[in-house]
Chains A and B, each alone.
Chain A
Amino acid sequence: MEILVLVKRVPATDSQIKIAADGKSYDAQGVEFVLNPYDEFAVEEALKTKEARGGTVTVMTLGTSAAQKDLRTCLAMGADKAILLTCEDHPDSAAVASVLAEKSKELAPDLIFCGKQAVDDDAGQVGPRVATLLGFACATDVNSLEIGDDTFAATRDIEGGRETIEGKLPAVITCQKGLNEPRYPNLKGIMAAKKKPLDEAAATPPDNKVEVVALEPPAERPAPSILGEGAAAVTTLIDKLQNEAKVL
């Protein structure tokens, strides 16, 4: 089974993000980057699928050459090879999907895994777009998966319940928390990773269809106030909950 994993390098979720002077991008200075957390589930699921059914796991990203580090981590976890498509611009979701889908065709995968979204822009578009461009089945936000010879059964949480869908391979599966517990790269895997192929090629994404025009930090929370102490504060507290917060 030919398995492909699409990953992205993103700022760590607890990074202090500063908006750059242009007001529409963030300042990468001093920001720590990590493998997108949802992509860790994708890598793990790909490895588990390979262990159960055999095959090859290729991990691919579009990004700067700094993403080598994250691809090496995927190789250390057990992926067989990695492809880094380099690009210095900021392609939009459509452009990213276009580049990744084009390269995917060469690999003719049976299964493509990716995170349900990247935690930097939270767009969640690349997986479904790649599926569309390739004409693959697609299951999003999957938290339980079974793979047959040429079929899949994916379970996903929906409002108020769980939904199970079945489909034919090839397919794109976007991975949600709960799907698995990503493994730690073990020491043998890390030592083996440096001998595994990591191919790098320049990519030329198509023009963006959308542009980010403004990036703002979330509104600052109002300063907390202390209403008083003990029983004396209860009346004021109830009044605030009823008339200001309107939760009672």
Chain B
Amino acid sequence: MGMARYKGVDLYDVDGLLSEEERMVRDSVRDWVEDRFLPIVTEHHRAGTFPAHLVPELGELGLLGATLEGYGAAGLNNVAYGLVLQELERGDSGLRSFVSVQGALCMYPIARYGTEEQKERFLPSMVKGEVIGCFGLTEPDYGSNPGGMTTRAVEDGDAWVLNGTKRWITNGSTSHVAVVWAKLDDEVRGFLVEAGTPGYTTMDIENKFSLRVSVTSELIFEDCRIPKENILPKAEGLKGPLSCLTQARYGIAWGGVGAAQAIYDEVLEYAKTRVQFSRPIAGYQLVQNKLVWMLTEITKAQLVCVQLGRQKDAGTMHHAQVSLAKRNNIWMALKSARMGRDILGASGITDEYHCGRHMCNLESVSTYEGTHDIHTLILGDHITGIPAYE
């Protein structure tokens, strides 16, 4: 309280590109993460548990579905929303993942593709964090190629009957509602499956090296009957789930900046105080080279994010731009984490420092929501017109 707080990294006066409200949003989330989340993250990381008691606070702060208009949501612009995710991922990628999945992957498809009844039923309680959501697209055998999914829906009287398995689902076992993508007559459609529905079970994926502060599950559908009104009527084909992924990847690009800033901040401080051969290691050229690399990459990533956000707000953002931002920013964050661990020396392998946790998390973030390589191919397709993944 009353202290000058963590200030992030801002060599290029990125603050000057932000409005007063955008800065205020960022600072409020920054303070919350510092006061409420960072003091407990290590114990949750060790135990492999998500701090579920903080979800009502996320709701109270307005971080869930923050860009939605109405339904009690904050109605933020996309730059402010990006800053929220940046600060959350400065805490932990698992915390940011929770908010991304709730907002971009569950509330967004309901808001964009759902009926008014579905929106009224789910969105207000999801804004408050009373209802938690997840997104089931990836399957055990279909990761980068979601179009190959084998989960099927068939019509049977007054119900849809779902069969199949989804895997690597963030918030899976803790969610009250799942947006599940399944093929109905060979067309991908979205269904809302509520926890407790007979034929719907979940199983958590344990013993993770990464995203230990987040719940990752498998969703299993065995003759799972859901009411007819639980289909998302306005999503037809793979572009439905892909549009959700574009939203989430946008946020992840910002998140990468937050994680990298956390690492840089921690490692810079360490390098300035760790003395070897009679002076701080920050005074050696090799260490400076690493720190400058991080600063440069963070700065570039920040500018990419702000411009991307402005374009998203203007309605001119292209999904290839999102691929570039996600690919670049998570790559630089992961590489910063590895360099940071190196600067921390032996200390870097313990959880006394946050760097190692970020490093392990970012391995997941580099893979999920379109792997680094898949984003390379999306961009390759964009510039050549020749899709290499087909």
User: Hey, which bits of chain A sit against chain B, CB under 8 A?
Assistant: 10, 12-15, 32, 34-37, 40, 69, 72-73, 76, 119, 182, 184-191, 193-194
Contacts and interface: CB of A to CB of B under 8 A. Distances in A.
A191 B70 CA distance: 13
B258 interface: no
Nearest to A41: B1
Given A187-B62, A187-B63, A191-B74, A34 B4 contact: yes
A196 B269 CA distance: 40
Contacts of B113: none
Interface string B68-84: 00000011100010001
A76 B31 CA distance: 14
A66 to B, nearest CB: 12
B156 to A, nearest CB: 43
14 contacts: A12-B2, A34-B2, A69-B20, A72-B24, A184-B31, A184-B32, A185-B28, A186-B60, A187-B28, A187-B61, A187-B62, A191-B74, A191-B76, A193-B21
Most buried by B among A14, A32, A190, A193: A190
Interface string B15-42: 0000011001100100110000000000
B4 to A, nearest CB: 4
Contacts of A185: 24, 28
Given A37-B2, A72-B20, A76-B24, A187 B66 contact: yes
Contacts of B61: 184, 186-187
Interface residues of B, number: 21
B21 A191 contact: yes
A139 B197 CA distance: 58
Contacts of B76: 187, 191
A3 B272 CA distance: 48
B25 A12 contact: no
A181 to B, nearest CB: 10
B365 to A, nearest CB: 24
Contacts of B66: 187
A32 B4 contact: yes
Q: Which of B4, B25, B32 counts the most chain A CB atoms within 10 A?
A: B4
Nearest to A15: B4
Contacts of A190: 21, 24-25, 28, 74
B58 to A, nearest CB: 10
A15 B84 CA distance: 26
A125 to B, nearest CB: 19
Contacts of B24: 72-73, 76, 185, 190, 193
B346 interface: no
Contact of B75 (A13, A35, A191): A191
Interface in B229-247: none
B62 A186 contact: yes
Nearest to A12: B4
A32 B2 CA distance: 10
Contacts of A40: 1-2
- List the 8 shortest-distance A-B pairs measured between CB atoms, nearest first: A187-B62, A37-B2, A187-B74, A12-B4, A32-B4, A13-B2, A37-B1, A186-B62
Contacts of B4: 12-15, 32, 34
A186 B63 CA distance: 8
A187 B25 contact: yes
A72 B359 CA distance: 37
Contacts of B21: 190-191, 193-194
Nearest to B63: A187
B3 interface: yes
